[in-house]
Structure 1
């Protein structure tokens, strides 16, 4: 595989598992060194093991750092860790996020404040802290992980969907403000295998089944998908995306080949959402 990111350095938030871990592997396979950020102590061993495996498999440097990027001090710690070995931060993947779903009458102030702090303030603070370390030749890459929830109006996602819409709005603003330093894009996954999707309630899953059934690439294929995937799709309306499928789109946006693409929300949802 071409190592098109040889010598570059990326920060990946929420990098210990799920989409974040898959993105880390994709970037590592392209020769990119990594700083993987995680928040909870329960993710420490996962991050340590992942860093060790990626370092040995792809001959890159990978380190983990526990910090809450939803705070100024946490964001600064991640950046200082990244720049302790090399001064330039080439890639930022704002992936960390939470979903605290509730129907409108039940939304609490805590749910609102915590979800916006993690999903919106976190990316803003981290990108802000890294500004002075971005390239000056437009070779930098920032990719924000959004969601189809920003556009689909899923029941129970007043708050989560709003945070992802805010992230997409910041993507467009940053693409102009940082044009001399980096391209800035977002990707918008739909249902993806992993711990975040597993937290959804049966009511939420029933509500989005119709969306899944009409998503072109979610139709399960006998002989291609596993029997377990095919069986699960009968109740959910379609197969979930594999994390590496989303990571592949993110990785593409980080390569030199993507230099003429900025300010965009790129499909990473199998065609669930078709815009423009």
Structure 2
């Protein structure tokens, strides 16, 4: 077993991905900070290194296996076998159902569903060799509740939840846990800041039991637990971090 864990976090240039990368680095984990534009990962890497951690910026389209394979190889060559994966990269959409085209649906599913599948497949051999692995898929509370004008997005994230439960059963005998975090509304992310006004965030906060919207660090804290040894008996779970938006 390797002495230093190595993680890959996708969609890590900003928002939830950046927060997860920084939080994992604080646990002594070396992190591959991956995004579509490698240059945008520099800030996350600098913050990790300034705090004494180890990180490398990586660029890849998660729906392109050739690009993913090259990025994974570079991370493996830099830090060693990869046994932690946070599938965070994703795209959102607010198109009315009757206006959704096959092209739009294909794009959303390629990133949100094919992406986690491809990246997990490319890393799985390392986890199996170590007989230890942690996969955390970032889904969405919209997949649990549904959301108007988000049929493409919410259904794709529902697929991520189903994928999580299936992989947990298939990979558990190899010492690999697979869980999903479906965030509620989180400030400080590109998706939220581009699509949700400050007034809307305030109205939403007033409806939540905790009376605030989330922060990327809220997701990162849950992610760190799920990537740790302490979570070895937690798998196939949907860990809601949503301020009470979803109540089961």
Q: TM-score, normalised by structure 2?
A: 0.91
Deviation of 1:177 after TM superposition, in Å, equals 1.2
Match of 1:227 in 2: none
For 1:138 and 1:160, the matched residues in 2 are separated by: 33
Q: What does the per-residue CA deviation read over 1:167-221, in whole Å, with 9 as the maximum and x for residues that have no partner?
A: 000001110111113100000101001211122267xx86x9886543212x1xx
Distance 1:85 1:201 in 2: 38
3-state SS, counterpart of residue 111 of structure 2 = helix
| 1:46-90 CA-partner distances (Å, limit 9, x unpaired) | 3123212212313x3210111111011122112111211344211
Which residue of structure 2 lines up, in the alignment, with residue 62 of structure 1?
55
- Aligned equivalents of 1:155, 1:138: Cα separation in 2: 42
Contact map agreement 2:62 2:89 (CA 8 A) in 1: no
Question: Does the 8 A contact of 2:83 with 2:123 survive in 1?
Answer: no
- Structure 1 alignment gaps of length 5 or more: 220-238
Between the two proteins, the alignment pairs up a number of residues equal to 244
Secondary structure at 2:167's aligned position in 1? helix
SS of 1:266's equivalent in the other structure is coil
* TM-score (normalised: structure 1): 0.82
> Which one of the candidate residues 135, 143, 149 is aligned to 1:150?
143
Larger radius of gyration: 1
CA RMSD of aligned residues (A): 2.1
Confirm or deny that 1:28 pairs with 2:25. yes
Q: 2:217 aligns with which of 244, 247, 263?
A: 244
* Aligned twin of 1:224: none
Structure 1 counterpart of 2:35: 38
Q: Tell me, yes or no, if the aligned pair for 1:6 and 1:30 is still in contact at 8 Å.
A: no
189, 193, 216: which is aligned to 2:183?
189
Contact 2:105/2:152 (<8 A) preserved: yes
Q: Is the 8 A contact 1:183 1:261 kept in 2?
A: yes
Further displaced range: 132-141 or 143-152: 132-141
State the secondary structure of the residue aligned to 1:251. helix
Cα deviations by residue, 1:87-123 (Å, 9 ceiling, x for unpaired): 4211000000000211112212222111100000000
Residue 124 of structure 1: how far off its partner (Å):
0.2
Distance 2:100 2:62 in 1: 24
In 2: Cα distance, 1:12 partner to 1:105 partner: 34
Pairing of 1:139-178 with structure 2 (within 5 A): 139-178=132-171
Native 8 Å contact 2:11 2:90 kept in 1: yes
Partner of 2:193: 198
Q: Distance in 2 between matches of 1:209 and 1:109?
A: 35
Distance in 2 separating the partners of 1:137 and 1:76? 19
